[in-house]
A = this chain, B = another copy of it.
Amino acid sequence: MRRHLLALLISAACAHHTAKGQSEYQTDSIFIRKIFNTALSDGKCYEVLRDLCFKVGPRLSGSAGAAKAVQYTRNVMIEQQFDNVFLQDVIVPHWIRGAKEQGWIVTGKTGKIAVPITALGGSISTPKGGITAQVIEVKNFQELREKDPALVKGKIVFFNRPMDPTRFSTFDAYAGAVDQRGSGASEAAKMGAIGCIVRSMTTRLDDIPHTGSMRYASGVPMIPAASVSTNAAELLSKTLAKNPQTKFHFQQNCETLPDVASHNVIGELRGAAKADHYIVVGGHLDSWDFGHGAHDDGSGCVQSIESLRLLRALGYKPNHTLRAVMYMNEENGLKGGMAYADSARSKKEKHLAAIESDRGGFTPLGFGIVGSARQKEKIKSWAKLFAPYGMHQLGVGGGGADIGPLGPLGTTLLGLMPDTQRYFDYHHAPNDTFDKVNKRELELGAAAMAAMVYLIDKYGLE
């Protein structure tokens, strides 16, 4: 009898628990539906992005555009009546492209075929008048190192390993090729080269050169480095196959100026229960210096602002303080991300979670997670709440560059993971413009971030 009673009690307790779980699930499901519906029917982020693209434009760290972007996004969050909007000081590098970058394949004594090139971010200038030299084409560092240094000396090294088009995730393809851009110049210089050109980081064959950061290894001569469009890379490679003596010419006038005072831009919705515990959403405010930086990372910035605006518009009262952070200087220094984490550390601000959107404003498919197994399981237990919106990947992939420095502080890191197929068509290139962003796709990402913030704010990550 007592055993029966116990069984009955346990059963009743479980039923209660299940009923409670069901009811919570219903509540969450309904609220998340409201988030998505509001984002899709009354979203603001597409118009904010339009202004960021057309009224602000490109915004490389240290530039007038970057300063304008700081003021613009600050004003947006003030106008949207965030509880608190403030700037956080960040000292950033100031590299400029300069005027007149050009390149050509030298054909015969006087002939030339002009090809699209662009200086890599951080590169030095060529000598005045440019460099003209024979070309050593290689696919990777190993192939270069096996060359006779006498052969490489005084030449231009041409890194021409394409991004692997068979990788389903274009980010994987990028990861497999970007060492050429990042370290190619120093690898070439170690062998005595006087210049470095790199095939653009895209799977497309077109005439658009893609820039991106490079760094010089210490103790190695600095040589100028540029990217060439994929079509130009193909042409140069074919030309070299016919005539290995073919020369290439390029000229660029880039320069690294003294560091500049800049800012992260932070907007807050204050928490009711635990105002000194934070959940942050963010993207990086800087972009490269051409196009609009629409996908990279205008999208992530406006989605972050929108995700908090949506929660407020729906009357949600957060437990923790929610922050939208526009990080400065992701592209060529990560100073904003580091400054944010430094500040959090010194102020002993407890950050539960940081979410970043920096993979383009495309249809969201899930979130990457960097956290404990238990935290991952907890987040994955919310899968059913995201499924109606096409998001079926929770826990595939990592966080994001800007939030990385928060990791050592015990913050769970999440990265919004959109469809990757188109991203590198536009990445770091003049065609990363507003028209490439689809309104609905952008809004879905913002809604997904809002839903994730809501769930973490409500349930925590313990």
Contacts and interface: CB of A to CB of B under 8 A. Distances in A.
Interface of A: 36-37, 40-41, 165-166, 168, 170, 203-204, 363, 365, 388-390, 392, 419, 421-422, 425, 438-441, 444
Nearest to A389: B168
Given A390-B365, A392-B392, A40 B438 contact: no
A292 B63 CA distance: 41
B392 A421 contact: no
Contacts of A388: 168
Given A165-B440, A425-B438, 11 more contacts: A40-B165, A40-B166, A41-B165, A170-B440, A204-B439, A363-B363, A390-B419, A419-B419, A421-B440, A421-B444, A422-B441
A441 B444 CA distance: 19
A170 B443 CA distance: 14
Given A421-B440, A440-B421, A166 B41 contact: yes
Contacts of A439: 204
7 contacts: A41-B166, A165-B440, A168-B390, A363-B419, A363-B421, A365-B390, A422-B441
Contact of A168 (B36, B166, B203): B36
Nearest to A38: B166
A350 B419 CA distance: 38
A425 B435 CA distance: 12
A446 to B, nearest CB: 14
A392 B366 CA distance: 13
A256 B53 CA distance: 46
A438 B203 CA distance: 11
A388 B393 CA distance: 12
A121 B440 CA distance: 28
A388 B166 CA distance: 12
A242 to B, nearest CB: 23
A48 B40 CA distance: 35
A74 B203 CA distance: 30
Contacts of A36: 166, 168
Nearest to A39: B166
Contacts of A425: 438
Nearest to A443: B165
Contacts of A204: 439
Contacts of A363: 363, 419, 421
A365 to B, nearest CB: 7
A395 B389 CA distance: 17
A204 B439 CA distance: 8
Please provide the 5 A-B residue pairs with the shortest distance between their CB atoms, ordered closest to farther.
Answer: A37-B166, A421-B440, A40-B165, A392-B392, A41-B165
Contacts of A422: 438, 440-441
A421 B437 CA distance: 11
A170 B438 CA distance: 13
A435 to B, nearest CB: 10
A165 B439 CA distance: 11
